[in-house]
Amino acid sequence: MNKKVSGKVLFVDDDVDVLHTARMILKPYFTEVVVLTEPDKIPDLLLENNFDVIVLDMNFSFGQTSGKEGLFWLRKIKSIDPEAHVLMNTAYGDIQLAVDAMKEGAIDFLVKPWEQEKLLATVQSVYELSQTKKENRNLNQIKNALSSDLDQPFGELISKSKSMIPVFEAIDKVALTDANVLILGENGTGKELVARSIHRKSNRQQGNFINVDLGAISGSLFESELFGHKKGAFTDAREERLGRFEMANGGSLFLDEIGNLNLNFQSKLLSVIQNREVFKVGSSHASKIDIRLICATNKPIYQMLASDEFRQDLLYRINTVEINLPPLRNRTEDIPALANHFLLLYTKKYNKQNQRFSEIAIRKMQLYSWPGNIRELQHLVERAVIMNEGSQIEEHSIMLNIPAESDDSAKNFHIKNIEKEAIQKALKAVNWNMTEAAKILGYGRSTLYRKMKKYEL
């Protein structure tokens, strides 16, 4: 180790000359070296700081050589911080003391008087061990955060609809930058797929894509989940934890349902975005972050802005580029491809291959308004695959949540709406048999097809 590292060392000894020498040796190599003559101050220091290495004397009282005091404070340190890396330091080279210290959790043992090179090499070795363990812990936390995603089938966006062309164009353009993106759209329209597509096409594709559902995080855990916390920052904080911002460092952070945040949390989030740094709960030291931020909401964000429910300065920070996702009812030409995509997925999952939708079943799905959008379509296809017994899924297996019709007084009596509704009712009455529907309506088949195209049925 030839250059100074961002490490903190605590050196505890009753001899001020030893502390002075140790500080001179270590200071050029570590950013912070804290020296202490009174061991009873150790607990307070540990609650306020996270030390990478603690060097602890074995004896503090005059004439003591048993090492019991050092073992007492070693146990105390480990009770406060079980992951502390403690290096024991004594003027008496007693092998039994070394064995006892190791049993109590010490990492290594130094015998005074030590040479400068020996002290530095031993402290550096313990520091490197602490960093390795910290990196492994962080990797495990990131792995746990990503584990729920690993089981999800996140594919490409599927569409040939004209209404989706602006979406694809925006993805291709913004992906090449680090601009913050805000995705707007109803529930189930595929906002997360858009976010993942931006990440995959970006220069950050090798980094993590961290997904956070802000609507599912309780207020008491908001700061801990997003910014992380230090060990002992609050009850049950038994170890230091990375926040989602740090997990996404070098990659992309997707904050879903950002419209659910109250004004207080909006303010805290704005501070992090502006300063590009986070303060863990319980820490006074900032950690720099390097992320691409993608946010999404199904809330009417501009109405919330007008009613002072959403901060204007935060909105300006997160919507450098804004992408609006159309609902499925406005892209009905995509329904056959989407339905068949989910059909392939679930026939494989449930080992029911070689199933297909009948033409009438597809048409029935295209006539539906899909209030739950693509997510509702996905669930419908899964249910149909599970319940279907033949090789073809007919229209009766397409179970749609159609609400009861309203009273005539609430209807729009424009002639186009009446004709469109008449066609829809006729098709439903004959289970989407085009010939029978045309007879009921008094149309020829070609006229019925033309009008269905006109009304986008």
3-state SS record for 159-217: CCCHHHHHHHHHHHHHCCCCCCEEEECCCCCCHHHHHHHHHHCCCCCCCCEEEEEHHHC
The first and second tokens of residue 348, run together, are 């494989």
In sequence order, the 6+-apart residues with CB closer than 8 A to the CB of 19 are: 11, 13, 35, 36, 37
DSSP class of 119: H
What is the predicted pLDDT for the residue at 413? 54
Distance of CA 108 to the CA centre of its chain: 38
Same domain, 387 and 445: no
CB 47 within 8 A of CB 80: yes
How many domains are contained in the chain?
4
Same domain, 313 and 180: yes
What's 451's domain CATH number? 1.10.10.60
Same domain, 311 and 417: no
The first and second tokens of residue 276, run together, are 């590009």
In a domain, 148, yes or no: no
The first and second tokens of residue 384, run together, are 């149909």
Same domain, 195 and 269: yes
Q: 181 has which bridge partners?
A: 294, 321
Same domain, 395 and 292: no
Q: Residue 322: which domain range?
A: 163-326
Decide: residue 199, CB within 10 A, 0-12 exposed, 13-18 middle, 19+ buried: buried
**Cα–Cα separations (whole angstroms), residue 184 to 187, 189, 322:** 10, 9, 7
Mean pLDDT by 10 residues, the chain (457 residues): 78 92 92 92 86 90 76 90 87 73 86 88 90 74 56 67 94 95 95 94 91 86 85 70 88 94 94 92 85 95 93 95 94 94 92 90 92 94 91 88 52 66 78 76 76 73
Same domain, 397 and 435: no
Q: In whole angstroms, what is the distance from residue 40 CA to residue 36 CA?
A: 10
In a domain, 355, yes or no: yes
Name the nearest CA neighbour of 161 among 330, 325, 376.
330
